[in-house]
Protein backbone atom coordinates (compact mmCIF):
# COMPACT_ATOMS: atom_id res chain seq x y z
CA UNK A 1 0.00 0.00 0.00
CA UNK A 2 1.20 3.51 -0.87
CA UNK A 3 -0.47 6.72 0.33
CA UNK A 4 -3.47 4.67 1.44
CA UNK A 5 -3.86 3.16 -2.04
CA UNK A 6 -3.98 -0.60 -2.63
CA UNK A 7 -1.36 -1.71 -5.13
CA UNK A 8 -1.93 -4.59 -7.55
CA UNK A 9 0.50 -6.23 -9.93
CA UNK A 10 -1.01 -8.13 -12.84
CA UNK A 11 0.93 -10.65 -14.90
CA UNK A 12 -0.47 -11.54 -18.35
CA UNK A 13 1.08 -14.96 -18.93
CA UNK A 14 1.50 -17.42 -21.77
CA UNK A 15 3.98 -20.29 -21.38
CA UNK A 16 5.96 -18.40 -18.73
CA UNK A 17 7.16 -21.33 -16.63
CA UNK A 18 10.88 -20.58 -17.14
CA UNK A 19 10.78 -16.94 -16.00
CA UNK A 20 7.74 -16.57 -13.75
CA UNK A 21 9.44 -17.35 -10.45
CA UNK A 22 12.34 -14.94 -11.07
CA UNK A 23 9.84 -12.20 -11.90
CA UNK A 24 7.65 -12.75 -8.84
CA UNK A 25 10.61 -13.01 -6.45
CA UNK A 26 11.61 -9.43 -7.30
CA UNK A 27 8.19 -7.89 -6.67
CA UNK A 28 8.35 -5.50 -3.68
CA UNK A 29 6.53 -6.37 -0.44
CA UNK A 30 4.28 -3.30 -0.72
CA UNK A 31 2.24 -5.04 -3.44
CA UNK A 32 -1.14 -5.94 -1.92
CA UNK A 33 -2.63 -7.96 -4.80
CA UNK A 34 -0.78 -10.29 -7.18
CA UNK A 35 -2.80 -11.67 -10.07
CA UNK A 36 -1.70 -13.87 -12.95
CA UNK A 37 -3.91 -14.51 -15.96
CA UNK A 38 -2.94 -17.52 -18.05
CA UNK A 39 -3.94 -17.41 -21.72
CA UNK A 40 -4.30 -21.18 -22.06
CA UNK A 41 -0.62 -22.11 -21.69
CA UNK A 42 0.67 -25.56 -22.57
CA UNK A 43 3.42 -25.58 -19.94
CA UNK A 44 3.56 -25.46 -16.10
CA UNK A 45 2.75 -21.76 -15.73
CA UNK A 46 -0.33 -22.36 -13.56
CA UNK A 47 1.38 -24.96 -11.39
CA UNK A 48 4.19 -22.51 -10.64
CA UNK A 49 1.75 -19.66 -10.05
CA UNK A 50 0.04 -21.77 -7.41
CA UNK A 51 3.36 -22.61 -5.76
CA UNK A 52 4.20 -18.90 -5.59
CA UNK A 53 0.89 -18.07 -3.90
CA UNK A 54 -0.47 -15.98 -6.75
CA UNK A 55 -4.14 -15.49 -7.38
CA UNK A 56 -4.64 -16.80 -10.89
CA UNK A 57 -7.28 -17.05 -13.60
CA UNK A 58 -7.17 -19.37 -16.60
CA UNK A 59 -8.64 -18.65 -20.03
CA UNK A 60 -10.56 -21.53 -21.59
CA UNK A 61 -8.68 -20.96 -24.87
CA UNK A 62 -5.91 -18.76 -26.25
CA UNK A 63 -7.62 -15.40 -26.78
CA UNK A 64 -4.57 -13.17 -27.23
CA UNK A 65 -2.53 -10.60 -25.36
CA UNK A 66 -5.16 -7.88 -25.46
CA UNK A 67 -7.89 -10.08 -24.00
CA UNK A 68 -5.44 -11.27 -21.37
CA UNK A 69 -4.96 -7.68 -20.24
CA UNK A 70 -8.71 -7.14 -20.06
CA UNK A 71 -8.97 -10.06 -17.66
CA UNK A 72 -6.01 -8.81 -15.64
CA UNK A 73 -7.51 -5.37 -15.15
CA UNK A 74 -11.04 -6.65 -14.57
CA UNK A 75 -9.90 -8.89 -11.72
CA UNK A 76 -7.57 -6.30 -10.19
CA UNK A 77 -10.45 -3.81 -10.07
CA UNK A 78 -12.74 -6.46 -8.58
CA UNK A 79 -10.12 -7.08 -5.89
CA UNK A 80 -10.23 -3.41 -4.89
CA UNK A 81 -6.95 -2.19 -6.39
CA UNK A 82 -6.38 1.56 -6.62
CA UNK A 83 -3.13 1.35 -8.61
CA UNK A 84 -2.54 -1.44 -11.11
CA UNK A 85 0.86 -2.25 -12.62
CA UNK A 86 1.25 -4.65 -15.52
CA UNK A 87 4.48 -6.65 -15.29
CA UNK A 88 5.30 -9.16 -18.01
CA UNK A 89 6.26 -12.47 -16.39
CA UNK A 90 9.05 -13.07 -18.93
CA UNK A 91 11.55 -11.16 -16.75
CA UNK A 92 12.41 -8.75 -19.54
CA UNK A 93 11.54 -5.72 -17.39
CA UNK A 94 12.84 -5.44 -13.84
CA UNK A 95 10.04 -5.68 -11.23
CA UNK A 96 12.18 -3.52 -8.93
CA UNK A 97 10.66 -0.40 -10.53
CA UNK A 98 7.16 -1.25 -9.32
CA UNK A 99 7.58 0.92 -6.22
CA UNK A 100 8.60 4.01 -8.19
CA UNK A 101 5.91 3.60 -10.82
CA UNK A 102 3.17 2.87 -8.30
CA UNK A 103 4.19 5.86 -6.17
CA UNK A 104 3.86 8.27 -9.07
CA UNK A 105 0.28 7.12 -9.60
CA UNK A 106 -0.64 6.76 -5.92
CA UNK A 107 0.42 10.36 -5.16
CA UNK A 108 -1.40 11.71 -8.20
CA UNK A 109 1.68 12.83 -10.13
CA UNK A 110 0.47 10.95 -13.22
CA UNK A 111 -2.55 8.86 -14.16
CA UNK A 112 -0.39 6.49 -16.21
CA UNK A 113 3.32 5.67 -15.91
CA UNK A 114 5.35 3.80 -18.52
CA UNK A 115 8.65 2.01 -18.04
CA UNK A 116 10.64 3.28 -21.03
CA UNK A 117 13.43 1.22 -22.59
CA UNK A 118 14.54 4.22 -24.65
CA UNK A 119 15.29 6.77 -21.91
CA UNK A 120 18.87 6.23 -20.81
CA UNK A 121 19.80 4.26 -23.92
CA UNK A 122 19.11 0.84 -22.38
CA UNK A 123 17.36 -0.81 -25.31
CA UNK A 124 20.22 -1.76 -27.60
CA UNK A 125 22.54 -2.49 -24.69
CA UNK A 126 19.89 -4.83 -23.33
CA UNK A 127 19.83 -6.77 -26.59
CA UNK A 128 16.87 -5.27 -28.46
CA UNK A 129 17.19 -6.29 -32.13
CA UNK A 130 18.22 -3.35 -34.30
CA UNK A 131 15.16 -3.60 -36.57
CA UNK A 132 12.89 -3.41 -33.53
CA UNK A 133 14.77 -0.40 -32.18
CA UNK A 134 14.55 1.45 -35.50
CA UNK A 135 10.85 0.65 -35.93
CA UNK A 136 10.22 1.68 -32.30
CA UNK A 137 11.80 5.08 -32.90
CA UNK A 138 9.96 5.61 -36.19
CA UNK A 139 6.56 4.62 -34.85
CA UNK A 140 7.04 6.68 -31.69
CA UNK A 141 7.84 9.80 -33.74
CA UNK A 142 4.79 9.13 -35.91
CA UNK A 143 2.54 8.73 -32.88
CA UNK A 144 3.88 11.80 -31.09
CA UNK A 145 3.05 13.80 -34.21
CA UNK A 146 -0.53 12.54 -34.46
CA UNK A 147 -1.35 12.20 -30.75
CA UNK A 148 0.28 15.47 -29.68
CA UNK A 149 2.39 13.86 -26.96
CA UNK A 150 6.15 13.75 -26.33
CA UNK A 151 6.73 10.20 -25.12
CA UNK A 152 10.05 8.41 -25.62
CA UNK A 153 8.20 5.21 -26.61
CA UNK A 154 4.68 3.76 -26.83
CA UNK A 155 5.63 0.10 -27.08
CA UNK A 156 6.76 -0.88 -23.61
CA UNK A 157 4.80 -3.59 -21.82
CA UNK A 158 5.59 -2.15 -18.38
CA UNK A 159 2.74 0.13 -17.33
CA UNK A 160 1.04 1.52 -14.22
CA UNK A 161 -2.52 2.85 -14.18
CA UNK A 162 -4.86 4.48 -11.72
CA UNK A 163 -8.17 2.79 -11.03
CA UNK A 164 -9.97 5.72 -12.64
CA UNK A 165 -8.12 5.20 -15.93
CA UNK A 166 -9.08 1.54 -16.17
CA UNK A 167 -12.69 2.24 -15.25
CA UNK A 168 -12.99 5.10 -17.74
CA UNK A 169 -11.45 3.77 -20.95
CA UNK A 170 -13.61 1.75 -23.39
CA UNK A 171 -11.13 -1.15 -23.24
CA UNK A 172 -13.61 -3.73 -24.51
CA UNK A 173 -13.56 -1.98 -27.90
CA UNK A 174 -9.86 -2.73 -28.34
CA UNK A 175 -8.11 -5.51 -30.22
CA UNK A 176 -7.38 -8.89 -28.63
CA UNK A 177 -3.92 -8.75 -30.22
CA UNK A 178 -0.75 -6.81 -29.37
CA UNK A 179 -2.00 -3.48 -30.74
CA UNK A 180 -4.22 -3.36 -27.63
CA UNK A 181 -1.27 -1.68 -25.89
CA UNK A 182 -1.14 1.11 -28.44
CA UNK A 183 -4.88 1.61 -28.57
CA UNK A 184 -4.90 1.99 -24.81
CA UNK A 185 -2.36 4.83 -24.85
CA UNK A 186 -4.24 6.55 -27.67
CA UNK A 187 -7.38 6.31 -25.54
CA UNK A 188 -5.52 7.81 -22.56
CA UNK A 189 -4.49 10.75 -24.74
CA UNK A 190 -8.01 11.15 -26.15
CA UNK A 191 -9.68 11.18 -22.73
CA UNK A 192 -7.13 13.58 -21.24
CA UNK A 193 -5.18 11.40 -18.82
CA UNK A 194 -1.64 12.43 -17.93
CA UNK A 195 1.15 10.02 -18.91
CA UNK A 196 4.63 9.93 -17.34
CA UNK A 197 7.71 7.78 -17.95
CA UNK A 198 10.59 6.28 -15.99
CA UNK A 199 13.78 4.83 -17.38
CA UNK A 200 13.65 1.04 -17.39
CA UNK A 201 16.57 -1.27 -18.22
CA UNK A 202 15.50 -4.28 -20.24
CA UNK A 203 17.05 -7.54 -21.28
CA UNK A 204 16.45 -9.82 -24.25
CA UNK A 205 17.28 -13.50 -23.87
CA UNK A 206 16.06 -16.83 -25.18
CA UNK A 207 13.32 -17.37 -22.60
CA UNK A 208 11.96 -13.82 -22.85
CA UNK A 209 8.81 -13.55 -24.97
CA UNK A 210 9.03 -11.61 -28.20
CA UNK A 211 6.82 -11.42 -31.28
CA UNK A 212 8.31 -12.49 -34.59
CA UNK A 213 8.93 -10.29 -37.62
CA UNK A 214 5.58 -11.03 -39.28
CA UNK A 215 3.60 -10.14 -36.17
CA UNK A 216 5.83 -7.10 -35.64
CA UNK A 217 4.81 -5.83 -39.08
CA UNK A 218 1.15 -6.47 -38.27
CA UNK A 219 1.57 -4.59 -35.00
CA UNK A 220 3.26 -1.67 -36.76
CA UNK A 221 0.42 -1.36 -39.25
CA UNK A 222 -2.04 -1.44 -36.37
CA UNK A 223 -0.12 1.38 -34.65
CA UNK A 224 -0.31 3.52 -37.78
CA UNK A 225 -4.05 2.80 -38.12
CA UNK A 226 -4.69 3.73 -34.49
CA UNK A 227 -2.83 7.04 -34.86
CA UNK A 228 -4.80 7.91 -37.99
CA UNK A 229 -8.06 6.99 -36.28
CA UNK A 230 -7.12 9.26 -33.37
CA UNK A 231 -6.47 12.16 -35.73
CA UNK A 232 -9.72 11.62 -37.64
CA UNK A 233 -11.67 11.37 -34.38
CA UNK A 234 -10.06 14.54 -33.05
CA UNK A 235 -10.90 16.53 -36.18
CA UNK A 236 -14.45 15.19 -36.30
CA UNK A 237 -14.02 13.66 -39.75
CA UNK A 238 -14.83 10.16 -38.43
CA UNK A 239 -15.85 8.45 -35.22
CA UNK A 240 -14.52 5.18 -33.83
CA UNK A 241 -15.78 2.98 -31.01
CA UNK A 242 -12.39 2.88 -29.29
CA UNK A 243 -12.71 6.64 -28.64
CA UNK A 244 -16.42 6.70 -27.88
CA UNK A 245 -17.83 7.92 -24.57
CA UNK A 246 -20.40 5.15 -24.99
CA UNK A 247 -17.83 2.47 -25.76
CA UNK A 248 -17.88 -0.75 -23.75
CA UNK A 249 -16.01 -0.56 -20.47
CA UNK A 250 -14.79 -3.18 -18.04
CA UNK A 251 -17.23 -4.55 -15.50
CA UNK A 252 -15.05 -5.59 -12.55
CA UNK A 253 -15.23 -9.32 -11.96
CA UNK A 254 -17.74 -10.04 -14.75
CA UNK A 255 -16.77 -12.51 -17.50
CA UNK A 256 -17.58 -16.08 -18.46
CA UNK A 257 -14.67 -17.24 -20.60
CA UNK A 258 -12.16 -18.09 -17.89
CA UNK A 259 -11.92 -20.04 -14.67
CA UNK A 260 -12.62 -17.58 -11.87
CA UNK A 261 -11.22 -17.50 -8.37
CA UNK A 262 -8.65 -20.26 -8.79
CA UNK A 263 -6.00 -19.58 -6.19
CA UNK A 264 -3.60 -21.00 -3.66
CA UNK A 265 -1.77 -19.39 -0.79
Where are the chain's structural domains? 7-245
What pTM was computed for the model? 0.92
The pLDDT of residue 211: 66
Specify the CATH class of 7-245 in words.
Answer: alpha beta
Provide the pLDDT for residue 225.
Answer: 97
Please, what is the Cα angle at 28 between 8 and 17, to 5 degrees?
80
pLDDT, position 87 = 97
Reported confidence tier of residue 206, pLDDT bands at 50, 70, 90: low
Query: In the predicted model, is pLDDT for residue 252 greater than 60?
Result: yes
Give Cβ neighbours of residue 131 (< 8 Å, ≥ 6 apart).
213, 216
Give the confidence band of 69 by pLDDT, cuts at 50, 70, 90.
very high
Alpha carbon 166 to its chain's center = 11
pLDDT reported for residue 46? 94
- Residues 145-187 pLDDT 10s: 999 999 999 999 999 999 999 999 999 999 999 999 999 999 9
Q: Where are the beta strands (DSSP E) in the chain?
A: 7-13, 33-38, 55-59, 83-86, 112-116, 159-162, 195-199, 258-259
Q: How confident is the model at residue 256, as a pLDDT?
A: 74
Q: pLDDT tens, 6-59?
A: 999 999 999 999 999 999 999 999 999 999 999 999 999 999 999 999 999 999
Amino acid sequence: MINGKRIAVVLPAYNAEKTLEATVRELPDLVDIRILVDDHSSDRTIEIAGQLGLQFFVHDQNYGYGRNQQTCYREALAAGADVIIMVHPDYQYTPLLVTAMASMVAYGVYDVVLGSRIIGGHALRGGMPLYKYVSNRFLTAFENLFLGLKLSEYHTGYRAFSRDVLMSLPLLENSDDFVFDNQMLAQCAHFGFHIGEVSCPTKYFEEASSINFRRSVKYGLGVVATSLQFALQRTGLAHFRIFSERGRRLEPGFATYYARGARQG
